[in-house]
Structures are given as structure tokens and as C-alpha cells.
Structure 1
């Protein structure tokens, strides 16, 4: 039996959904996507469900999909998927990753123009062949070329939320080895950058050869690129490159600082060292006159020796952190433990996977004091959005549950859609009775900056809106932020005392760290919400907090660090 990660299994199910869509099959693709999404967010290895014969306990996994999961887990392969693959060129599947191209368009390109790869698609768009097809024109070709460029740009980057569990698992396995004295993630993943290129791990051991043998034979490792006594490079699932370096203990701190980066941050530190006639490298902070090592074992020693307060990894982007560390003005950053609740979660009333009760239980077990159920509203049909009658029924159920739970308060809410004129798709007589109203954009992304800004500003003036959901609309590695005057949005938020969301869903992280950094100039609050569609998705709060920390936010800037009493006062509940 081969080891197949949750992520890899989820990707196989997503691929089945893609191929079924290309074949024009109805309903089944959605079932496979739902199962894939739930598997990708499981908190434990799917193999445990298999061993306990409980695969169908996973939300969205019925008998048919469970049988396929068993085959994948037992053999590492799936005959059903292999048969589907035979019906289409491999390049056609890759083309489905390009934003704006659905299965109908791709099949039209394939059947009428013979386009079966990304390169052929690009050539056809450049040569004006696509505009000859019914329903397509010059603008279509322009959009395809722009999206192709974006796809290639993102192709080599990994989303933090998808890779961090893999990296942490490897770090944990190394830390449990008897011959490993210290181990730490480094690089951009330690700084919690939203996308990463590869993973760096540093370790201290008196037996580096034994550690390299152990590391390169871990079940998660798919291929060994190079293996040495003090450095090995491997490829794990998702074609993720990972470097492990075994470092001398006396220089572990300096190596950790060096390999964590960022490059720009390190250049500034080396300049400070040079001004003192010292040299800073991965081997330590050295006095060039005496060749004496000033610091190296601990990171904190490096910063303190240079006259700086310790700078946490999330701030190391050369955005003024070194000057702040010199003057003792580094921010008191928000911490995971400061979060008191989550104000944006979904349930199986719309496109979520669990019942309200299951989600509330999970939140309560996490120690939260409040939770807002905000399912999609009606116009988002792909997400089974609720109509006005269903919203009222859900409000009634939430009210009953809220009386049952004593240690957590459950708020009734909605994620309403903002149309192109800035109107919400829920009637005001419904909105007025809800505790939380999130206004979000889910379509119509290609407006001009002026049109999009006015659209959002109009929505912000709705009397009942509580917060603006995922304000810039970007999807990591898929879609750029829409054209938007964000400073104008910040100004209106300050004027109206409206809350903006930092959406912690792994593919969003919206507002991003730069947006958060700039928001400090305005007097409005940000709510860090998970937008969870499964109970395990609630754990993505960590990603949101990391983004807020990268944006220099303290707990005073974040709404859901407030106590229940203070939250109710702020929201006039």
C-alpha cells in the first residue's frame, strides 16, 4: 500500500470533475469537487478513515466515491480516472487552469480549431484564429493572452495554506528523531508569505548522515534530487522542492536568520554590520578586526548585537521594520490567541459541508466566544444561495441553537451578493433582522476602476451592511484583484465606521498584507474571518492572523479580538 496524501487524493478527484465537465456530464462534477474540497481540508490523514472503514463519514463521500478512494489508497492509482484521461489530450486539462476558460469554450477550441495545449492556444490567440469562432472576438483573444501570462507567472508558486501543512509535518517528523537537536522551517514559508517557491528546513544534529538517510526516505518524499552529508534536496507531493541543511549548532541562529530572509531585509542587516566593521553571513556575525564571533547560536543575539530589538519573521520585508527595531517602535502584533470568534462561516444550508450544529460545536471546542453563520444569498446559484424564506428559517434554527449553547453565542448572518449597481440581493426587511450582513462581490469582475469603486461604495452605504467581504476579489494563483481605488474604500470605511474583512480562506487572504499595512493610516476595523465551508476550515484562522502580522496589525485593529460584550456594543446588537 503506497502513501498518498490528502492533497494528492483531492487533486485526483478535482481532475475527475474537470474531465467530466469536458465530457458535458451534469451533476457528477459538483459531487467530486465537494468530496475533493472536504478531503483537502481534513485535519487527519485519510488513511485513518480507510483503516477504520469510515470513508463515507467524510462529508460528500458516498459509496461510489468511497470505492474509488479505496482503490487510490491501496494502489496509488485509479482505473476510472485513467479511462477518462484517454478521452482527452493532456494539454486540454492544463488549459482548464487558465482563468476565464470553461469546459464549453475549451471543447469548442479543441473540436473546431484542434487546440490541445496551452502553447497552441496562445498561438491561435496571437494569430487571430479564435475571433473567427461564433461568440468570440478580439477582446476574447486579448483576455486569453492576459490570462495565459498570469497562469505562467503563477505556475511555479505554491499557495501557503496548501503547502504549510506538508512542511510542518516534515518539520515535526525531523524534530521527533532522536539525533535531531534543533529543527526549524526557514525561507518565505517561515515569513508566512502568501505564496512560496520552495521550502527550506534547517536542523542541528551530531549525526547528519543518519538524518539525511532518514529524511530522504520519509514516505512523503517522492524523489531525491541530491543527497549529501549536510544538504539534501528532495521533491515531495505537488512537485514541491525541499532543501534540508544540517547546521553546526554554534551558527544555527545566524543560518536561520540568513535563510529566512527576505533578501532586502538581509541586505539592510549586512549594511548595519558593515558599518561596525563586522561581517554577517549564514556562519555568524564576525568582527573583521579580531575575527571573533560576536553572535551566531541564536537569532535574537544577531539582532540585539546590531542594536535592534528582535524582529519576528513575518515583518522581515524591509518595510521599515529595521528602523522601528532601532527606535523600539516595533508593533505589538496580533497573536492567534487574541482571536475570540469567527464572523464568516458557511454551512450545508448553502455550499458548506457541515450542519450549523457541527460548525458551532467545533468553534466552541476551539474556545471561541462567538460565531456568525453567513451562508450565501440567493443570486449565487452555484453555491445554493438562500432565498428570503430560507434565510428566515435559518434564523429560527440559529436562535434555537444559540439558546442551547451556553459558552458560545451564535449570530445569524448572510453573505449577500453585491450587484453591479452596488445593491445587495437580500430585501431590507430581511437584512434588518440579521445580526451580521456581509456584502461581497462574486461576479462582474471586469469593471473599470471607477465603476468597481462606485459599486462597492454604494454597497457600503447600505443601512444594514456590517462588513465588506474579501474586498479586492483576488484568488491566489488564479485571479488578480479587480480594478479598485482601495484608498477610497478605506476612506469610506472610516467615515461610515464599516468593517473590512481579512478573509483567511487559503486561496484568498484578502485583504493581503500590503493592504493591511496601508490600512493603519485609517480609523476602521478589520475582521479576520475564515470563510470556512467545513469545520476543519475554521483552523485557517492561523493564515489570516499571519497575514495580519505581516501587515503590522495589532489586536486593537481587529474586530474579532473584542469580547462578546464589546463586539455587541460595536455592532449595536
Structure 2
């Protein structure tokens, strides 16, 4: 079975949620939860490890019982224990978890105290004003639930980009293993690097479409074949995502790739320019009358309508057509521009790997520097560091840097840093004395997301008033599909950062991607530079920089707009506040 790590983690996360709703033993729940947290960050696929006979219990948080369950999932694609608990917990109760703002503990409390077993029950309890009376809820929580219920339109049908990557990568490899493929691309919103995707669109140029379609529908992760023809086919994978295949002749490759990449509004704007020039543009090519004048390459499509090539990330009809006309398209940042990562965690707080392991992983990526930003003391759930522990880490980094300088001939260095909690009043949870000893300070909000906009905004600006703060991390606090951004005047925060010599982070963690693409564009227009950082909690997490790069490119950012495109000496100059 070609099952991915994230699919295995999702199974363990779901069983942990459902067992917690049932009130199962806390240690049993924690075992599933810890495994679900660890597995997505592993560099190697668990399916490979099982196939190679590796001892899974050598991995942290994986005991014998969990290891056996992983083997069952890899071999069968399912876990009987999950199916059993699903039968015990009704679907209407499970749906409450998808609303947002309700974890399994709260669902359990609502069920036991108020008999809530469905969204309808919850709506009735909220309208009757009963929820805020429960311990751990309160009036603000009740108001938030009322708002979410008003917006509820059912579970999202979109898949986070990283999950789509992990699902489509082995399918693409499977297709490339067949004969006769000349070109292959995953198109649609995936190619435009949107943070979530709907269906996946795979485009293939070849001479034998029937053979490719047959190989496509025969992929072992296909749960259902929706349609099957010689030039197009559609399937639903075990994960639930739909994948559509289109096979085109090589002569139409560029036109088809442009058409199926979208966005629709961008394509409409390009076709409109074609009409003005007496051309017809379709997925088959660019035509003047009956004559095909372009379409073998995407570049030829744009040339036909008097435009330079526009990269997929910009194709949202947000001014890219006009910029192309003026010769003003940005030279977008690339992964090769990045010289280091400014937000990463170790096992000193809530990361999985040691200082040395994180350093070697960053050096292996060709970086010049990596900032170690373990959490500070206020975030107790993440084992945050107090001043004493941070001082010890500073000394440890100094010692390690001496060894790294010899090993890497002075080409790599760890930066002494910290992710400092912003308290409700805007103060920081560590004293200035210890912060002054750091190379870099990243400040962030991890609690009281419910403050009114003016208070949240003032809270952040007051934190940036502290001369030690360099970067505001994950500036809106959103978790894609799970938590809405907190109320904040982001433009005012950006202007305040610019005035104080601070920067905002584009957090590349796949559940965050915070800043949004539009916010990146706004920062660029204001002249505010950003840091693209992974917020890595493991060595594998460092490799997610590509997700931040995709978001930055969608936000029109060039290398000059990104502070960690600089070498270490230039970065230090940027971080120096007056």
C-alpha cells in the first residue's frame, strides 16, 4: 500500500480525539496523540521502514503497541481499532470537532453536561445561553461558537497544500514509471501554490493516452474510479481527494497547461486580450481563424497576446496582466535565494531533535545560519525556557558553534535566539537582561486570541516597542481550517514594525502559512521586509521552506523583500535596532 505518513498520523489523531470524547484512559490517548504529532515530521516514509523491516520503536514516542498498529495501517490501509471507535461515537458527534473551537475535551463536556450530540443540539444550547455556564467555556466562547455556527457550511472540501503534495507525489512517480510520457505536470491551484486545493489536476502529454489512463486508474491508492476514457479519467483516492487526468498531444501542451493551471479570472483576462487581437485561445492552442499560431509552450501563449511569461503563482488577476504590459513583473524570490532559517525549535522545548542535529540538517541544506528559537517560560505546554535555561542554551550554542566552525570551515553558524511570548499587556515573558544576550528575538502570541481588535493591536505594538524584538512571528495566529485569525489591525501593525525597525514573519508551517499572500503583497507595498521561516520542530521541518516560498511568490515578494535572503553579516546589520 502506498500510504503516506500524514495519512497514518490522521488515523492516530482521529482515534485520539474519539477516545478522548469517550473518556478513555489518558495515557492511551496520549500515546496516539504523540505518535500523530511525531509522524508528519519524519524524513523517511513509515511505509518504507515497515517494508525494510526497521524497528519502529527506535523512533521517539513509538512504543510496541503503536508500532504494530503502524504496520497494520501500512499493510491494509486501515486500522480496525479506529473503525470500532467510530461505530461507538456517532457521526453527528464527530462533526462537532470540525466546527472549530471545540476540541475533544469540550465536546465531551458538552455531551455530559447538556446532552449535546450534534450541531443542532449545540445550536440550541448556545441560543438558550447554557454553554457559558459550563466550567472552561464562558461568554466569549459561547459567542465564538454562535458565530461559527452562523458561518457553518459543512466540512471543508479543500485539502491543505502539503497534504496534496504528499498524496500526489507517489501518484506522479507511478505515472512516470509508465512508457511514452513526454511531459507531466500537476496543474490547477496546486501549481499556483494556493494554501489549500480542491481537486487535483494532472496533465500529461504523450502519444498513447489509453495506456496512461489505464495506469492512472490502476494506482493502488485509488478508492473509486469516477470515469475512465482514453484522454481523460477521474478517480477518488483513499484520502477522499479527487484527482482528474487529462491527456493532450504535445502540440497542445503549453495551451493546455495554461488553461488547466488557471486561475479562471486570469485565463479570462488573457482570452480577452486574445479576442482584441483577433485570436481564439483554448486548451488546444491559440488560433487565428483555423490556423494554430501558438500553444506548444506556455510562453508562446503569452507572446501571442503581447505579454511576457507570467509565473503560475501570480495568475490570480491581481494586477499581473497590467504589470506584464508595463514590464514591471517582479523577479520573485526562489528557494535558492534563502541563506538561512530564523525560526526553529529543539528538544529543549517542544521540538524533536537536538541542537546539533538541527544545526547539521540546516548546514546540509546549504544554509549559512539557523536561529534556534525555543519557546519561553510562559508557554508551559511547550516546556518553555526560563532565563536560567536560556542562559544554559546560549552557552551550549557557543560551544557547539566552535565545533561547527571547524567542521564547516566557518560557513555555518547557529544564532542564539528565542521565541518570546507576548503577554496580554504587551510585555514579554523574559527580562531584557537575558534578551540582550541573544542574536535574534522572535515575539509571538500564544494565548488570549479573543481580545478585541484595538487591544490585540496595541498589545503587539507595545511588544515591538521593546528594542530587543526583531520579528513578529505568525502575525495573525491563524491555523488553516482550524482557527480563524485573531482580530488585529494588520496594516497598523505593519506600519508600526516599519517605524521601529522590526519585521514580520511569513511562517511556512503548513497549518499556518501566516502571513497570507495578500498580506505579503500589502507588506511589499508599504516597504516592510519579511522573514520566511519554517517554525521547524524537527530536522524534516526545515525542508518546508518551499511552502513559505510559494506563499511569498503569490504575494509578489522578491529576494530583496526577504531578510533571510541576506548573508549573515548583512542580516546582522538589518537586525540592529537603534
TM-score category, normalised to shorter length:
over 0.9
Please report how far the alpha carbon of residue 273 of structure 1 lies from its aligned counterpart in structure 2 after TM superposition.
0.6
* Pairwise CA distance, 1:148: 3.6
Aligned-partner Cα distance in 1 for 2:151–2:534: 26
What are the superposed Cα offsets for residues 518-548 of structure 1, whole Å, 9 maximum, x if unpaired? 1112233211000011111111100001111
Aligned residue runs from structure 1 range 259-274, under 5 A: 259-274=260-275
Q: For residues 16-67 of structure 1, what are the alpha-carbon distances to aligned partners after superposition, in whole Å with 9 as ceiling and x for unaligned?
A: 2213332164354344333213212333321221123231233322223212
Query: Paired residue for 1:147?
Result: 148
Alignment of 1:192 with 2:193, yes or no, is yes
**Secondary structure of 2:121's partner?**
helix
Name the CA distance, whole Å, in 1 between partners of 2:177 and 2:300: 26
405 and 323 in structure 1: CA distance in 2 versus 1, 3 angstrom threshold = same
Distance 1:227 1:103, change over 3 A: same
Q: CA deviation at 1:512?
A: 1.0
The 5-angstrom pairing of residues 360-439 of structure 1 reads 360-406=359-405, 407-439=411-443
Match runs of 1:474-489 below 5 Å: 474-489=478-493
Deviates more, 1:235-244 or 1:125-134: 125-134
The match for 1:181 is 182
State whether residues 257 and 282 of structure 1, in contact with CA within 8 Å, keep that contact through their aligned partners in structure 2.
yes
Q: Is residue 81 of structure 1 aligned with residue 85 of structure 2?
A: no
Paired residues of 2:4 and 2:166 also in contact (CA < 8 A)? no
> 8 Å contact 2:206–2:248 — kept in the other structure?
yes
| Structure 1 residue 550: Cα displacement | 0.6
Q: Deviations over 1:128-147 (max 9, x none)?
A: 56467577676544321322
3-state SS of 1:521 partner: helix
Instruction: Name the CA shift for 1:544/1:306 in 2 (closer, same or farther; >3 Å).
Output: same
2:497 aligns with 493
Cα distance between partner residues in 2 of 1:300 and 1:172 = 26
1:505 to 2:509 alignment: yes
* TM-score (norm. length: structure 1): 0.95
Question: How far apart, in 2, do the equivalents of 1:566 and 1:196 lie?
Answer: 37
| Alignment coverage as a number of residue pairs | 570
Cα distance in 2, alignment partners of residues 137 and 149 from structure 1? 19
CA–CA distance in 1 between the matches of 2:329 and 2:234?
Answer: 36
Provide closer, same or farther for how the CA distance between residues 545 and 131 of structure 1 changes in structure 2, counting only shifts above 3 A. Answer: closer
Is this contact kept in 2: 1:14–1:32, CA < 8 A?
yes
Residue aligned with 2:525, SS: coil
What is the alpha-carbon distance in structure 1 between the residues aligned to residue 151 and residue 549 of structure 2? 27
Q: Which residue of 1 aligns with 2:36?
A: 36
Equivalence for 1:471: 475
Give 1:297 deviation, angstroms. 1.0
Change in CA separation of 1:189 and 1:150 when aligned onto 2, cut-off 3 Å: farther
1:472 Cα deviation from its structure 2 partner: 1.1
Residue 541 (structure 2) pairs with residue 537 (structure 1): yes
Q: 1:45 to 1:401 in 2, by over 3 A?
A: same
Task: Give the alignment's Cα RMSD to 1 decimal.
Answer: 2.0
Equivalent-residue separation in structure 2 for 1:136 and 1:372 (angstroms): 37
**Residue 250 of structure 2 aligns with which residue?**
249
Q: What TM-score does the superposition give when structure 2 sets the normalisation length?
A: 0.94
Does the CA-based 8 Å contact 1:515-1:551 persist in structure 2? yes
SS at the partner of 1:96?
helix
Shift of 1:347: 1.0
Among 457, 479, 492, the residue aligned to 1:453: 457
- Rounded Cα–Cα distance in structure 2 between residues aligned with 1:371 and 1:135: 39
Question: Which piece of structure 1 moves more, 146-155 or 317-326?
Answer: 146-155
- The aligned residue for residue 287 of structure 1 is 288
Q: Distance in 1 between matches of 2:398 and 2:223?
A: 50
Consecutive unaligned residues in structure 1, runs of 5 or more: none
Taking a change above 3 Å as real, the CA distance of residues 432 and 446 of structure 1, as seen in their structure-2 partners, is same
Alpha-carbon distance between aligned partners in 2 of 1:534 and 1:21, rounded to the nearest angstrom:
27
Residue deviations 1:378-398 (CA, integer Å, cap 9, x gap)? 111121111222111111211
Return the match for 1:528 from 526, 532, 538: 532
Partner of 1:170: 171
Distance 1:377 1:566 in 2: 27
Is the CA contact (8 Å cut-off) linking 1:154 and 1:477 kept in structure 2? no
Separation (CA, whole Å) in 2 of partners of 1:260 and 1:29? 42
SS in 2 for 1:397: helix
- Is the CA contact 1:517–1:551 (under 8 Å) kept in the aligned structure 2? yes
The C-alpha deviation readout for 1:304-349, integer Å capped at 9, x for no partner, is 1111010000000111111111121111110110001001001111
Question: What is the Cα deviation at residue 74 of structure 1?
Answer: 3.1
Using a 3 Å threshold, how does the CA distance of structure 1 residues 414 and 132 change in structure 2: closer, same or farther? closer
Q: Is the contact made by 1:438 and 1:469 (CA closer than 8 Å) also made in structure 2? A: yes
Q: Does 1:352 align with 2:351?
A: yes
Q: Partner of 2:219 in structure 1?
A: 218
Q: Contact 1:417–1:442 at 8 Å: present in 2 too?
A: yes
Pair 1:111–1:220, CA change in 2 (3 A): same
- 2:541 alignment partner, SS class: helix
Q: CA deviation at 1:367?
A: 0.7
Q: Could you give the per-residue CA deviations for residues 108-157 of structure 1, whole angstroms, max 9, x where no partner exists?
A: 32234332233433344346564675776765443213224556466111
Alpha-carbon distance change, 345 to 149 in structure 1, aligned in 2, over 3 angstroms: farther
CA contact (8 A) 2:474 2:515 kept: yes
How far, CA to CA, are the matches of 2:414 and 2:475 in structure 1?
A: 24
**Cα separation, 2, equivalents of 1:151 and 1:173:** 38
CA separation of 1:104 and 1:169: change in aligned 2, threshold 3 A: closer
- Structure 2: any 5+ residue segments left out of the alignment? 406-410
